[in-house]
Every structure is written in structure tokens, then in C-alpha cells.
């Protein structure tokens, strides 16, 4: 037997609840009555190519779910606005008047209107349009680092998010990206990473692979994960690791470029069995991060 759908609260009920909770009702905007251009920051979120070309240019990113918004705010990132459905507003009112308190607009709409704008059914509570933090130079990201993951040309947002989650969980100090890598602040990358993209310092090289030379000048041993004749097994390399090491992970499918391998100090491999030649880049990163964990 299907449970009857709970009716959506009216504008008046939402305004009354907001006022009773100490939320300035002037912040509330009902998107059912707004033209698309006034909520354009949330439009077509499932169009990867469109969002990739517009979010960075407009200085924003989208945080999806209460947990991700919490982590973005905890990292000091500033919201531009919040978007939620009418049914979710009563469940989020305590957050909006508490740890999410700010002066930015709270956009509220029916399930159908929010889905029409975003392109998907919003079932994780809320979205937030966040101010994108300023880019960090590579030198600043690695200034105090000893263990760094370098990612070459990974364009899959799921893999990139998983790489960040492994890096955070396994004690990596920074993640560096080649110019062609996907955006870590794209909605799916953030979600897969569970918000750890806000915790691990990261930066993007402006030149590649020439930027690796600067790491070597800073005292890093650059170790490329690649299947070369002279590659050292990861366990052997990790037994006596350099004081500062940057492990370089290649793109899905093709692996590392020849020029990248040539720019490394060493090549390292994960021994495989049963005729399998390699792991998915996210899985391989997790293995490498675990093997190179620093002693506490």
C-alpha cells in the first residue's frame, strides 16, 4: 500500500515557520513564481559540458546535500544562496537559522519546479550555490607537504572524487592536477569525495609535464605509476620512501604520457595477478596512498 504523499506547505505556512524560527522572511524567495534567469545558477545541473564551462567562469560551484553544504561552510566557503523544495524547508529550518545562518537568499519551490530547473529530483535536502575559492599556486599547496598525489588528465568526475576521498582518508598532504583534469568542484566530484575536496589542499599546474620539475626542485622525488621494464614494485618503493614524494597517476585507459614518465625520478608499479594489467585509477591511487602513509 502506497503511503499518501504529504502535501507541500503553502507560502504562508513557510513564511510563518521562518519567522517563528528567527529567519528573516525577506530572504525567502519562491521559485515557482520566478523566471528562469533569476535562478540560473541552478539550471541544467546535469549538463556536464555546460556546467563545466560556466561554473568556474562565474566564480561558483554547487554543493549538493546537507552534509556537503556543512563541509563547505566548515571550510570557510561563502554561500550565494540555498535552494530546496517546499517539503524540505521545514526539515532544514533549524540548520538555516543555526549553522547555515547568513543573509543570502533561500530559494524554495515545488518538487516539479525544482526538478525542471536543475534537471533532477532533489532528494538530498538542499543545494547551495557557493563562492568558488581563489586558485592556489602549486608551490603554496605543497609548501608543508611530504606526500602528494599528482593526477594527469583524469576527466571522469567520479574517479576524481574518489581520488580525493582516498587522499584525505589516507593522509595525503596535497593533490595536484594537470591542466586537462576535470574540475574537483564539479557537483559529482564533490559528492563522490564526500566533501573531502574542501579538506585536502589542491592546485592545478599551468604547464605540463614541465611543472613536475618545480616539485623536484622543492625536494620531491617524483614517482610515476607506470608499467615500465624498470618499474619498482610499490611495496619495495614504500619500504624506504623518500622524505618527500609525489606519486603521479595516469588517466583512465591510456595511463601516463611518455613525456610524464620521462620527467619522473622513478617508475613504480602495483603487481597484478590473473592476467589483469592494472587497476582503475581511483583504486590504484588508494593502494598507493595506503602504501605511502606517513608514520604518525
Check residue 113 and give its pLDDT.
93
Q: What's the whole-number mean pLDDT along residues 75-101?
A: 94
pLDDT at 283 over 60: yes
Give all domains of the chain, ordered by start, each with its CATH number. 11-131 (3.30.1330.30), 138-291 (3.40.1280.10)
pLDDT at 4 over 80: no
Quick one: pLDDT band at residue 35, thresholds 50, 70, 90?
A: confident
Check residue 124 and give its pLDDT.
76
Check residue 267 and give its pLDDT.
97
Query: If residue 166 lies in a helix (H) or strand (E), which one and from where to where?
Result: helix 157-169
pLDDT at 294 over 80: no
Contact indicator for 108, 96 with CB cutoff of 8 Å: no
Quick one: pLDDT band at residue 291, thresholds 50, 70, 90?
A: very high
Quick one: pLDDT band at residue 2, thresholds 50, 70, 90?
A: low
Quick one: pLDDT band at residue 145, thresholds 50, 70, 90?
A: very high
pLDDT tens-digit readout, 45-72: 988 888 888 898 899 999 999 999 999 9
Tell me the C-alpha distance between 117 and 85, whole Å.
12
Choose among 153, 108, 144: nearest CA to 260: 153
What is the residue-averaged pLDDT of the chain? 93
Please spell the DSSP secondary structure of 270-290, one letter per residue. Answer: ----TT-----HHHHHHHHHH
Quick one: pLDDT band at residue 296, thresholds 50, 70, 90?
A: low
pTM: 0.91
**Cβ atoms within 10 Å, residue 101:** 12
pLDDT at 25 over 70: yes
Cell 602549486 belongs to 138
Q: What's the whole-number mean pLDDT along residues 167-190?
A: 97
Amino acid at each position: 500500500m502506497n503511503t499518501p504523499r504529504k502535501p507541500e506547505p503553502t507560502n504562508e505556512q513557510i513564511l510563518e515557520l521562518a519567522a517563528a524560527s528567527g529567519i528573516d522572511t525577506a530572504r525567502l524567495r519562491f521559485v515557482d513564481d520566478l523566471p528562469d534567469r533569476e535562478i540560473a545558477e541552478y539550471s541544467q545541473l546535469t549538463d556536464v559540458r555546460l556546467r563545466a564551462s560556466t561554473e568556474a567562469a562565474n566564480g561558483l560551484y554547487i554543493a549538493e546535500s546537507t552534509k556537503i553544504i556543512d563541509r563547505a561552510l566548515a571550510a570557510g566557503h561563502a554561500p550565494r544562496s540555498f535552494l530546496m523544495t517546499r517539503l524540505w524547508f521545514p526539515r532544514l529550518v533549524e540548520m538555516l537559522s543555526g549553522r547555515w545562518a547568513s543573509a543570502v537568499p533561500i530559494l524554495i519551490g515545488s518538487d516539479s519546479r525544482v526538478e525542471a530547473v536543475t534537471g533532477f529530483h532533489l532528494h538530498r535536502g538542499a543545494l547551495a550555490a557557493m563562492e568558488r575559492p581563489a586558485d592556489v599556486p602549486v608551490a603554496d599547496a605543497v609548501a608543508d607537504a611530504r606526500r602528494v598525489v599528482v593526477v594527469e588528465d583524469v576527466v571522469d568526475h567520479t574517479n576524481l572524487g574518489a581520488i580525493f576521498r582516498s587522499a584525505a582518508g589516507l593522509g595525503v598532504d596535497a593533490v595536484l592536477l594537470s591542466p586537462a583534469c576535470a574540475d574537483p568542484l564539479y557537483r559529482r566530484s564533490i559528492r563522490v569525495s564526500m566533501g573531502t575536496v574542501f579538506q585536502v589542499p589542491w592546485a592545478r599546474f599551468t604547464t605540463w609535464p614541465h611543472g613536475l620539475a618545480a616539485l623536484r626542485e622543492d625536494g620531491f622525488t617524483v614517482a610515476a605509476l607506470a608499467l615500465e621494464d624498470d618499474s619498482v614494485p610499490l611495496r619495495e618503493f614504500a619500504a624506504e620512501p623518500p622524505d618527500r614524494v609525489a606519486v603521479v597517476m595516469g588517466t583512465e585507459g591510456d595511463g601516463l604520457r611518455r613525456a610524464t614518465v620521462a620527467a619522473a625520478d622513478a617508475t613504480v608499479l602495483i603487481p597484478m595477478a590473473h592476467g589483469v594489467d592494472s587497476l582503475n585509477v581511483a583504486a590504484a591511487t588508494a593502494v598507493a596512498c595506503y602504501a605511502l602513509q606517513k608514520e604518525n
